[in-house]
Structures are given as structure tokens and as C-alpha cells.
Structure 1
Amino acid sequence: MTTESDESIVRAMAAGDKSALARAFDRYAPTLTRYAWALADDRMDVEEIVQDAFLTLWQRASTLELPADTVLPWLLVVCRNHAFNAGRKRTKHRADELPETLAAPEGHDEARERLRWVRDEIAALPELDRRICELCLLEGHSYAEAAELLGLSVGAVTQRVSRNRRRLKKVVMHDEH
């Protein structure tokens, strides 16, 4: 059994295949939802952030160039941008200070902890790799922009991101295999 590549899913979306969007959603919605919980405290905001990220993917599929084999880093940046652009980042309240009906849903703390591990993993990378991850994955720069800023070739940036993405993917995604 072969798994469809993200590249082929994005190309199918660019051709108007709505089922390709559904496949991308099935593949990455759980990860984006966990990430969105670190950006927003309200279930409706989280759902809207995730929906907006996939809507942006649909709208930009025809111009999106995946320099690697996954769309996940791009989706995480888009997700973060939607959250912050809409001003959804709220002051965090401790769960024990909230009425029970307003407490974060089960798994919220786990998602925050998982993201803390991702940030820790990025911080533990060698300086150049850390800076590349910050530029590409956190600040939303393209590989070409990061290469120019750091005085590297696009291939070198792509190779380092690919290697570090594999490492970070283990932290971000559930180990389902």
C-alpha cells in the first residue's frame, strides 16, 4: 500500500479536486488542532483557525511550491498566522481558576506539553539549524529567503530543514506506526 504524497494532494487541489482537500484535512487536522490549542483558548477559535488554514491551503494550492515532501510546516505557519492576525492569542488562565464549564478540554495540557517539546527541540538544535527552523517554520520565510539571509544555498537549507523536520515530526505528531 502506498501513501499519497503531499505534493500530489496539493496538485490535485490546484486542479479543483475537493476530495484532495478532504485527504489533506484527514492527514493534518489533528496536528493543527493540537497546535491551535496552544494559540487560542476557545474551542470555536481553534476550529476557525484550523478551517482558515485549510481554506488558505485550498486557495493557494495552485501557487504553493513544496520544497520538501510535506505541507505540514507550511500549514503550521499559516495556522499560527491566522491565530495571531485575528488577535486570538489570549491571556492564559490556570484551569483551576476557571469554572469547570470553561476549563480547557481534555488533551489541551497534553497539546501544550507537546508544543513545549517542539520548542525545546528547536532550541537544542545546532545554531545554524535552529536559525533555519526559526526562519522557515516559525517566521514563515521561504527556503530561498532563509538561504539568502544566512548566506547558504537553497539546497543546503532544504536539506537541513528536511533532516530537522523528521526529528521534529516525531515530537509534533502522534507516533501512529
Structure 2
Amino acid sequence: MTRLTDIEDMIARMALGDRRALSALYDATSAKLFGVALRVLNDRSEAEDALQEIYVKLWRNADRYRVNGLSPMTWLITVARNHAIDRLRARRASRAAPIHEAAEVADGAPNPEEAMLAAAERGRIGACLGTLPPDRADAIRRAYLGGEAYADLSRRYGVPLNTVRTWLRRGLLKLRECMAS
């Protein structure tokens, strides 16, 4: 069984151009992502084509993934779902579907269940961040949610760059432990 940290590692290695990481990610996640594409497209052949395009998209955009305490599968599934929805829209547009069929196409927004799960996950992350010292929690928010550079954090907190890196690494480890419990 592949752990979520293994998937994060594969994505990070893909961002550096590691083709073996792409192959490993495909082996670990293709069944799930194929299921997502098949559910949206309702056509096995088209879902298979979409799956290949999804992994090309993941390869090209691996550098956009940010470790943020959420499951990396959430990101992968979102990419797969959005790609399948785009294919579905393109297919329907090419048929010039009547206006009443256009309402059947998903808008890409999370459904109520997904929104509820995401809100619960955000709440858990907030609670776990609350267990960290305030400056460490703030640094994690600024780095991983705000995109602030480590050097900027170093200046903001008046500590050496390596100290910021240590804060972030240890803080993420504590967050992972908290989220797993």
C-alpha cells in the first residue's frame, strides 16, 4: 500500500523530471484516477484516453503541487475530475447540445459532500496548527498557503534561513502526526 508521503515524494521527483517517479505514481494511482474519469465520462474508451492525458498534465504541472497537509490524492483527483469534465464539455459542445442538456454538465465546483469534507479537513488542519507555537504556525501558513519565500520568512522572524527551514520541516512533521491521529 502506498502512503500519502510516498505520493508526495513521487510528485516532487516528477517536478524535477524523474520519469521513474511518473511511472511509480501511475502504478500507485491510475486505478483511482481511471475510476474518476470513467464516472464523469461514462465511456470506458474515452476514460482511458483521458487517463493518459491526465498523467501528461500531472507531469507538466507537478511543480505546482504544494505540500499543504491535505492528501496529495485530493490534488490528483481534482486534476483528473476537472480534465474529464473539460472533455465532457468539449464532447457536448461539438454535438451542439440543446440548452437543457447544458445544465447536466458539472460546473467543476465541489459537490456538497466534497465541500463538507474539505471544510472538515480545514478545521482539522486549523486545530493541528493551533498545537504549534504561534510563530511556527504563522510561518507554515505564510510559506505553504501564502507562498512566502523562506528568505522572506527569515527576515520577518529575524532568524537564520536554516532555522526557518527547520521550523517548517518540524512543523510539517507535527502536523502530519496530528492529522494522522
TM-score, normalised to structure 1, is 0.49
Task: Kindly indicate whether structure 1 or structure 2 has the higher relative contact order, using CA contacts under 8 Å at least 6 residues apart.
Answer: 1
TM-score, normalised to structure 2, is 0.48
Which has the greater radius of gyration?
2
